[in-house]
Chain A
Amino acid sequence: MEKMDLDEIKELVLNYVKNEYLDDEEIDLDYDTPLISSGYVDSFSMVSLLVFLENKFKIKIPPSKATPEAFDSVNKIIALVDQFTG
């Protein structure tokens, strides 16, 4: 994977969430919008988001770290990913 800067990573994750989990184009999603606690992404769907992150960033996130709280916004997801990327 080519090296991406932080803004690019955030944009990538935001777009993935928008395209995969939201059907309504009018929902205004930003980097701090709650994803899990808002219900935009439910706890069952979190697994597919986890697989996406692991594939995209070539990382392995342990189940103990993949919590609803850690996935609750794009910014929080980026912070989580950052813990496991070189």
Chain B
Amino acid sequence: MSNIGSYQKRLLNFNWSLAEKELEYHDGDIINIGWYCSDRICLQGKGDRIALHFENFAGKERKYTFNDIRLASNTVGTLLTNLGLQNRDRICLFMDRVPELYFSFLGILKIGAVAQPLFSAFGDESLYVRLEDAQTRAIITQSKYLPKIRRIRDKLPFLEYIIVLDHTKTKNLENKEYAFYLEEIPAVEKMEIFPTKSESPSVLHYTSGTTGQPKGVQHVHYSLISQYLTTKWVLDLQDDDIYWCTADPGWVTGTSYGIIGPWSLGITQCVLDAGFSAQAWYRFIEKYKISMWYSSPTAIRSLMKAGNELAMSYDLSSLRHLASIGEPLNPEAVIWSQRVFGKPFHDTYWQTETGSIMISNFPGMKIKPGSMGKPFPGITGVILDQERFEPIKEAGKIGLIAFRPGWPAMMRGYCNNQEIYKKKFVGRWYLTGDKGSIDNEGYFWFVGRDDDIINTGGHLVSPFEVESALLEYPAIGESAVVSKPDEVNMEVVKAFITLKPGFLFNSELELDIMNFIRKRLSSLAMPQEIEYMDKLPRTRSGKIMRRLLHAKEWGEDIGDISTLEND
């Protein structure tokens, strides 16, 4: 029996107070995610239960009970307080998915500070703009990332503490740097947890913006309410489940459903800190007997490429429920998973801004392969007419996916950017920036983005950010960046460039540009292909016609080109 039971029955008289009641929260109470994910589980008598099975790429294992993570997060919290950090300070986590990241996340929240997780593959510029925008006061990292931080720290006047949690002590620490071995510090049994309230800021995640600058999405402690209930009803986590969320905590899935959701329910989860390998993933599932698996369409398509025989050579019978997030799950992947694992992946849909799952294929519900599913109870989702912003009643008609604001995990603003925040709302609706349709049975179908943002392997990349970085490369005169189709990642970044006089395009230059962007922004933003053009297509008013380049890559009709500049 699934946790949600009947979806239809849950829709009747739904109220978020159901989750509040289960979490014993009352309006006006203190609510601290750090406490809920560790201390409360121990108070429920589950302190000896394994909270985290960790394994790195070399097979080194570590495991921690809920009492261990309570103590470790207390220790980090106390350490931060002793350094002089306090509530509302923004503290960045710039680490691989090692246990210290998870403890630190909870420790930061316990002192009332704001956790700002950032993807550890970010290059210098990507890291810098996000720390600068957030006025981050401290960064918790690993020694391997010190060189990157040292290159930018002098430009960050607000950054006072660089805290290294795995320091080998072979390197000399420099200004503002502090090194600790958590295992060497006496565990802190008791700490005073900061009395955060429902609207106290909790997590700050950055996502790509349509204007080129990334946006800091601010969440609050009350987000727990919907993260808890969606984990329970959509991911269907049950008391004896072993859970694996493959997302990196540098992104919102890795915190909402890679930390907060499972641990607020007291569920054992597994973390594999390694690059993708089909063999390693199947071995991991087999070894830890994972029963609930939340992954991405890109990973699923990579597993499909690795072949059915490989999957069949492992004992994956522990798998009970599968779900997917990141980009639309193609019907072939749903059908493949049914054939190979004996159960389908359930697609889910949400965003950094929504903080929790909004639309999903629920356990027990008829799955239409390729569909996003239906809105979570309590969520009003619609398709809006693109000009009048009124809900479309006609089945199958494409429009803007929008939601009625008011669910607990909804973002509370963009850091330093209220103008852009206001533009996300029209009338009574929050605009997702995605387009879709609803069929005659109420299922949502994803069509694409309403803007130029590129979704590569489930990660959003701003073409404007890449174009700006390209223009900093000495040889490049102009740049235009679009997506191009990709069998595994759905779409990848492609750049069109012109060169300044005196430069010649060849594969050496192409490689140098790729590496320039990878180090400056990230590997996700690195163009997977660079095409040289004598001139970029422009309108008569001089604007680059990115639409034309996009259509060319996707084999689409190029549409109206009456405004195209002629020679």
**Chain A bound to chain B:** yes
**A interface vs B, CB < 8 Å?**
20, 23-27, 34, 36-45, 47-48, 51-52, 54-55, 68-69, 72
Q: How far is the CB of B495 from chain A (nearest CB, A)?
A: 12
CA distance in complex: A25, B492 (Å): 30
A42-B121, A52-B511 given as contacts; is B274 within 8 A of A47 (CB)? no
Q: How far is the CB of B277 from chain A (nearest CB, A)?
A: 4
A39-B96, A44-B528, A51-B507 given as contacts; is B277 within 8 A of A24 (CB)? no
Task: Please indicate the chain A residues that have their CB under 8 angstroms from the CB of B510 in the complex.
Answer: 51
Q: How far is the CB of B273 from chain A (nearest CB, A)?
A: 7
Could you list 5 A-B pairs, sorted by A, with CB under 8 Å?
A38-B275, A39-B274, A42-B275, A45-B523, A55-B508
Counting residue pairs across A and B whose Cβ atoms lie within 8 Å, the total is 78
CB of B87 within 8 Å of the partner chain:
no
CA distance in complex: A45, B277 (Å): 15
> Which residues of chain B from 159 to 196 have a CB within 8 Å of any chain A CB?
168, 170-171
Task: Please indicate the chain A residues that have their CB under 8 angstroms from the CB of B526 in the complex.
Answer: 44-45, 47-48
**B interface vs A, CB < 8 Å?**
57-58, 96, 121, 143-148, 168, 170-171, 273-277, 280, 456-457, 492, 507-508, 510-511, 514-515, 518, 523-524, 526, 528
Q: How far is the CB of A4 from chain B (nearest CB, A)?
A: 18
Task: Please indicate the chain B residues that have their CB under 8 angstroms from the CB of A26 in the complex.
Answer: 143-144, 168, 170-171
CA distance in complex: A55, B508 (Å): 7
Q: How far is the CB of A74 from chain B (nearest CB, A)?
A: 15
A20 nearest in chain B by CB position: B515
B524 touches A48 (CB 8 A): no
Task: Please indicate the chain B residues that have their CB under 8 angstroms from the CB of A68 in the complex.
Answer: 275-277
Task: Please indicate the chain A residues that have their CB under 8 angstroms from the CB of B523 in the complex.
Answer: 42, 44-45
Q: Out of B57, B143, B275, B280, name the residue touching A43 (CB < 8 Å).
A: B275
Q: A27, A38, A44, A55: which has the most chain B beta carbons within 10 Å?
A: A44
Task: Please indicate the chain A residues that have their CB under 8 angstroms from the CB of B145 in the complex.
Answer: 23-24
Q: B171, B280, B511, B526: which has the most chain A beta carbons within 10 Å?
A: B511
B528 nearest in chain A by CB position: A47
Q: How far is the CB of A5 from chain B (nearest CB, A)?
A: 24
A37 touches B507 (CB 8 A): no
B144 nearest in chain A by CB position: A24
Task: Please indicate the chain B residues that have their CB under 8 angstroms from the CB of A55 in the complex.
Answer: 507-508, 511
A44-B526, A45-B523, A51-B507 given as contacts; is B280 within 8 A of A37 (CB)? yes
A42-B121, A44-B528, A47-B526 given as contacts; is B511 within 8 A of A36 (CB)? no
Q: How far is the CB of B215 from chain A (nearest CB, A)?
A: 22
CA distance in complex: A25, B144 (Å): 8
CA distance in complex: A33, B144 (Å): 17
CA distance in complex: A5, B523 (Å): 31
CA distance in complex: A43, B524 (Å): 9
B511 touches A38 (CB 8 A): no
CA distance in complex: A41, B96 (Å): 13
A36 touches B147 (CB 8 A): no
B518 touches A45 (CB 8 A): yes
